[in-house]
């Protein structure tokens, strides 16, 4: 058969539209999957990461309040655990990059900053030090913990 192949403009336009729509859907699906992974990578381990810091800090506060002979050791353990938790949380949200929602990202940043501030205040404590700055820093950590927990999907 002889002849020249031609493209039906209407069919070509429909094909281009369908291809663009399919590509956009695939991109949207990929972005949603990345966002879900970022949330899981940050929210799922958050309690396990921050829980020991809370426990160590509470142990220190109890030792401090009772002028226990091991209060300095418990203080140092609390400081280290708070710093470790902050570093771990920071690494996770940094690794997640832009896939993490800006709101959750900011709440995690707030936690990291609050945990580091509490570690700093804890490190300054001895039995005669004023507790006001420590209490304020502790409240900021509690607020940040609660904000992250509220932003994360329930388990």
Q: How confident is the model at residue 30 (pLDDT cuts 50, 70, 90)?
A: confident
Stronger pLDDT, 77 or 35, i.e. the higher one: 77
Among the residue ranges 30-44, 72-86, 107-121, the one predicted with the least confidence is 30-44
The CA distance from 26 to 33, in Å, is: 10
Position 90 scores a pLDDT of: 97
Residue 154's pLDDT is 86
How far is Cα of residue 14 from the mean position of the Cα atoms in its chain?
44
Rounded Cα–Cα distance for residues 84 and 78 (Å): 10
Q: Identify the pLDDT of residue 128.
A: 87
140: how many CB neighbours lie within 10 A of its CB?
18
Phi, psi of 127 (to 5 degrees): -65, -25
- At residue 61, the pLDDT reads 95
CATH topology of domain 35-151: 1.20.120
pLDDT in tens, 48-104: 999 999 999 999 999 999 999 999 999 999 999 999 999 999 999 999 999 999 999
DSSP 5: -
| Radius of gyration of the chain from its Cα atoms, rounded to whole angstroms | 26
- pLDDT for residue 110 is more than 90: yes
| Domain boundaries, given as residue ranges, for the chain | 35-151
Q: Residue 9: what pLDDT? A: 65
107, 45 Cβ separation under 8 angstroms: no
Angle between helices 71-96 and 102-123 (to 10 degrees): 160
DSSP-H helix ranges across the chain: 9-65, 71-96, 102-123, 132-151
Residue range 16-35: mean pLDDT, rounded? 63
Whether 22 shows a pLDDT value over 60: the answer reads no
Residue 24 has pLDDT above 80, yes or no: no
């Amino acid at each position: 058969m002889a002849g020249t192949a031609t493209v039906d403009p209407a069919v070509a336009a429909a094909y281009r539209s369908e291809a663009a729509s399919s590509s956009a859907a695939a991109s949207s699906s990929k972005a949603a999957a990345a966002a879900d992974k970022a949330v899981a990578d940050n929210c799922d381990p958050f309690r396990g990461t921050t829980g020991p810091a809370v426990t160590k800090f509470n142990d220190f506060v109890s030792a401090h309040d009772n002028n226990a002979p091991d209060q300095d050791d418990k203080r140092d353990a609390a400081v280290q655990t708070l710093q470790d938790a902050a570093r771990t949380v920071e690494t996770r949200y940094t690794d997640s990059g832009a896939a993490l929602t800006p709101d959750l990202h900011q709440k995690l940043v707030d936690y990291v900053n609050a945990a580091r501030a509490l570690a700093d205040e804890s490190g300054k404590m001895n039995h005669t030090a004023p507790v006001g700055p420590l209490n304020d820093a502790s409240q900021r950590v509690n607020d940040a913990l609660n904000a992250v927990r509220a932003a994360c999907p329930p388990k």
